[in-house]
Amino acid sequence: MTEHRVRFQPNNVDANVPSGALLSEAAALAGVDLNQPCGGQGRCGRCAVRVLDGEVRRRSTVRLSAEDVAEGWALACQTTVLGDVTVEVPPQEQVERHLTTDRTATPVEVPEGYDPAEDLTIRAVNLTLTPPDMSDQTDDWSRVQVALARAGIDEPQAPLDFLRKLGPTLREGDWEAHIIYETDTWDCQPCHARLIDIRPGHQADDRLWGVAIDIGTTTVTVFLVELVSGAVVAQVADYNGQIRRGEDVISRIIYASKDGGASEMQALVIETINTLIDMACKRAQVSPDDVVKATIAGNSTMMHLLLALPSASIRLSPFITGVNHMPTIAAKEIGLAMNPLATVDCLPNVASYVGADITAGVRSSGMDETDDLTLFIDVGTNGEMVLGTREWFLACAASAGPAFEGAGVQHGMRATRGAIEEVWINSATYEPSIRVIGNVRPAGLCGSALLGLLAEMFMTGLMDKGGNIDLTLPTERVREGEHGPEYVIAWADETSIGRDIVITHVDIDNLLRAKAAIYAGFTVLATSVGVDLADVQRVLIAGNFGKYINVEKAIQIGLLPDMPWDRFAFLGNTAVRGAYLALLKREERERIKEIANKMTYLELSADNSFYEAFTSALFLPHTDLSLFPGVAAELSQARA
């Protein structure tokens, strides 16, 4: 059998394998450590390597674009060796970066019954003009206006940049032209069509793209959408460039309030968005100039920073936003790298801590179309939540703090490589089993692990309902630490940090306060409208955190209300999906606006009942165990 030499760069180590062996097998032989969190099934994409030289066969290219493959990328677990080859094992960060763009990608369905002729406000029209001559010296713009009026487009608004292209383009196209316009814009109804671009000659009218954007405090997501078919042709995401000026909205507002800070914050997020648009356009082979509309969602602070609107009042009592309903602008006004006259619709905010991400999210969740009493929650640094039906929406934001994002917790970290993402505790031995992102030695605990840990420690009796660790238990893993009682999840020699990874009493206190704030938010929403939380028929969980949450454990610690699991649904990034709907359909923009107008905001910091509810929720799962009958039953079973 033919053998081939496989060389791994940059370490320059070789392995000899039979023809047809997998690159991942060669790597194992050569002692090269590749990530395979999915177990080599070609699903996660984390074992991506670059084939620099030699013949291979890719069985699967899931998570790789045609462009990636052209650049030599291959999944080690799905690629067989057909000759001597040299492959490069990139640093994991590079793989992650490379994959960021797909990690959160989920198929997006075009809205049912989508009819661009009816729904879409972006249009294109081909004009055939009579050329001017000595007997008809009508100016170019009047000539075009007459032709547009014949096509049913009356008194269009022409920005200067459009008029500057007009004459040369008409002549280049020999008096045939293709004009892209928007039939109406959102903040100006009824109003005249807004002209976006003119091209020489006639063109097909389906070469129109748009972007739906969600600006998260941490992650910015962009969908590139083929407007006429409605298809999402690329989904990309990256960290918000503003992170380097503050992890949370408060520190960003403080930074933006300094001299020049607002412009810098705007520039940082625009740079992120532009990089993503460029990435998406390259992937779908679309010219950024053909991207002619954008809709944008984000929390209120992100929306203000995007437009360089003052944000200081968001942070200071009585917590006021500058602008909830932002005007439609042209892309060039904020420097977006797409068609400069593309219209940009910012979706509406409701209050300082209930922003366009929530109004867009509620719309895309469909809770505005049902009579069911629905609870919509988006847990991040703040837990934003909306209770309602199609008739009404009551919203609040519970300042949970960043504990569940790993901040304010001794060994907390973001959900990246090396983070413990799941913990199980043996109820007999109190020994933990962990799962680490990237299958490497652990460096800390991310949010889902913290949540799970709380539940496991409580359910196994490692701590009581007050969050107190039982130091009397027969295990070395509980001990008195520097910051009081603590539980050891990983011993120093098992970690990549050379120290024991623990959860301390202080950490637990922080986590309890976070979960209590969120649950208290639910409680206040429910009592405000005179319903029981148990009456809620649907709990819709939005956001990335929701994707990793374990409902059972979240109920066990009293973060989520105790109800049948089938009432819960995880929706992922509802904000970008709402922006996507708004991009395609005029009606969706109107509906999101309606949602914003209908939504009543409850300021929890001004609400005495909140503190009461918060205090009651500081226990596991709750002071009032009757609210958690399922958990009560489990507990009595577990401790029987």
CB of 216 to a second copy, least distance (A): 21
The CA distance from 323 to 316, in Å, is: 16
**Of 69, 151, 188, 531, which one interacts with a second copy (CB under 8 A)?**
188
601 membership: H or E segment, kind and range: strand 599-602
Which of 136-144, 380-388, 442-450, 547-555 is the region at the interface with a second copy (rule: CB under 8 A)?
136-144
Which of 48-56, 184-192, 523-531, 538-546 is the region at the interface with a second copy (rule: CB under 8 A)?
184-192
Contact between 359 and a second copy by CB under 8 A: the answer reads: no
Which of 321-329, 368-376, 460-468, 567-575 is the region at the interface with a second copy (rule: CB under 8 A)?
321-329
CB of 610 to a second copy, least distance (A): 12
Q: How far, CA to CA in Å, does 450 sit from each of 337, 461, 502? A: 40, 16, 11
CB of 134 to a second copy, least distance (A): 4
Cβ 56 vs Cβ 84: under 8 Å: no
Contact between 608 and a second copy by CB under 8 A: the answer reads: no
Exposure on the CB side of residue 28, measured as CA atoms within 13 A = 11
The CA distance from 286 to 288, in Å, is: 6
The residue count of the chain comes to 640
CB of 146 to a second copy, least distance (A): 13
189 vs 537, beta carbon nearer a second copy: 189
**Of 157, 229, 468, 496, which one interacts with a second copy (CB under 8 A)?**
157
Which of 89-97, 315-323, 491-499, 582-590 is the region at the interface with a second copy (rule: CB under 8 A)?
315-323
- DSSP code for 420: E
Three-state DSSP class for 167? helix
Which of 76-84, 176-184, 287-295, 318-326 is the region at the interface with a second copy (rule: CB under 8 A)?
318-326
Contact between 306 and a second copy by CB under 8 A: the answer reads: no
**Of 97, 171, 258, 499, which one interacts with a second copy (CB under 8 A)?**
171
CB of 195 to a second copy, least distance (A): 10
Q: Per the structure block, which two tokens stand in for 170? A: 């008409």
Contact between 349 and a second copy by CB under 8 A: the answer reads: yes
Omega before 310 within 30 of 0, i.e. cis: no
The distance in angstroms from the start CA to the end CA of the chain is: 62
Contact between 324 and a second copy by CB under 8 A: the answer reads: yes
Three-state DSSP class for 339? coil
The CA distance from 290 to 286, in Å, is: 7
**Of 53, 84, 119, 140, which one interacts with a second copy (CB under 8 A)?**
140
166 vs 514, beta carbon nearer a second copy: 166
**Of 141, 239, 424, 570, which one interacts with a second copy (CB under 8 A)?**
141
Q: Which residues within the stretch 105-134 sit at the binding site for a second copy (CB under 8 A)? A: 132-134
Three-state DSSP class for 425? strand
99 vs 195, beta carbon nearer a second copy: 195
Q: How far, CA to CA in Å, does 500 sit from each of 445, 456, 487? A: 12, 19, 10
Q: Which of 420, 407, 410, 427 is nearest to 481 (CA)?
A: 410
Cβ 228 vs Cβ 293: under 8 Å: no
The CA distance from 201 to 171, in Å, is: 9
Cβ 401 vs Cβ 379: under 8 Å: no
Residues at the interface with a second copy (CB under 8 A): 132-135, 137-142, 157-160, 163-164, 166-168, 171, 188, 191-192, 307-310, 312-313, 317-327, 329, 333-334, 349, 351-352, 601, 603, 605-606
